[in-house]
Amino acid sequence: MFSLLTDPALLLLLLQNLIYAGDTPRGTPVYINRQYMQAELKLVVGNIEPHQFMGFSGGVKSAAVGLTGKKTINQNHALMTHPDSRLGEYENNLARQDVEAIGKIIGIHFALNAILNEKKQIVKVVAGDPRAGGTSGKSRSQQYAGLYQLFRTRAGR
């Protein structure tokens, strides 16, 4: 039997039933919903688009942030201050690397992600391994979002 977690009130209740699943290599404690961890099939559904400090949304991020506890989210989001935790940066992004590590700990089996254009219309769907979907989907997302080149600047210059 499968259950679909979509109701906000239900999600709030589920986030109060957390278990400790381990720590990421960066020391983020992973507290995740017990019901999710007991599921036979763990799939995430979302979209891939540029993200202000994760590089791109989608992939494991849906569950690694969406179903984890406050301590997990706060520790991971503290990495947003690193210079490589920025819009469009995927491979060297510390916040994203930490989210990917959370994804390994919580064992996501499958991801289904839509890529949207500037009008929020679905132009492509990527499915399968959460990591592979994220890496292949990000290049498509760049194309449709018009994110061709990013420049780093320093405040006050």
Report pLDDT digits (tens) over 78-135: 999 999 888 778 788 899 999 999 999 999 999 999 988 778 888 889 888 887 555 5
Q: What is the CATH number of the domain that holds 88?
A: 3.40.50.11440
Q: Please indicate, yes or no, if residue 125 is contained in any of the structural domains.
A: yes
pTM for the full model? 0.77
Q: Please indicate, yes or no, if residue 100 is contained in any of the structural domains.
A: yes
**SS3 string of the chain?**
CCCCCCCHHHHHHHCCCEEEEEECCCCCEEEEEHHHHHCCCCEEEEEECEECCCEECCCCHHHHHHCECHHHHHHHHHHHHCCCCCCCCCCCCHHHHHHHHHHHHHCCCEEEEEEECCCCCEEEEEEECHHHHHHHHHHHHHHHHCCCCCCCCCCCC
Tally of structural domains, the chain: 1
Q: Please indicate, yes or no, if residue 152 is contained in any of the structural domains.
A: no
Q: Which residues constitute the domain of residue 12? A: 8-145
pLDDT per residue as tens digits for the range 10-36: 666 666 789 999 999 999 999 999 989
Q: Please indicate, yes or no, if residue 98 is contained in any of the structural domains.
A: yes
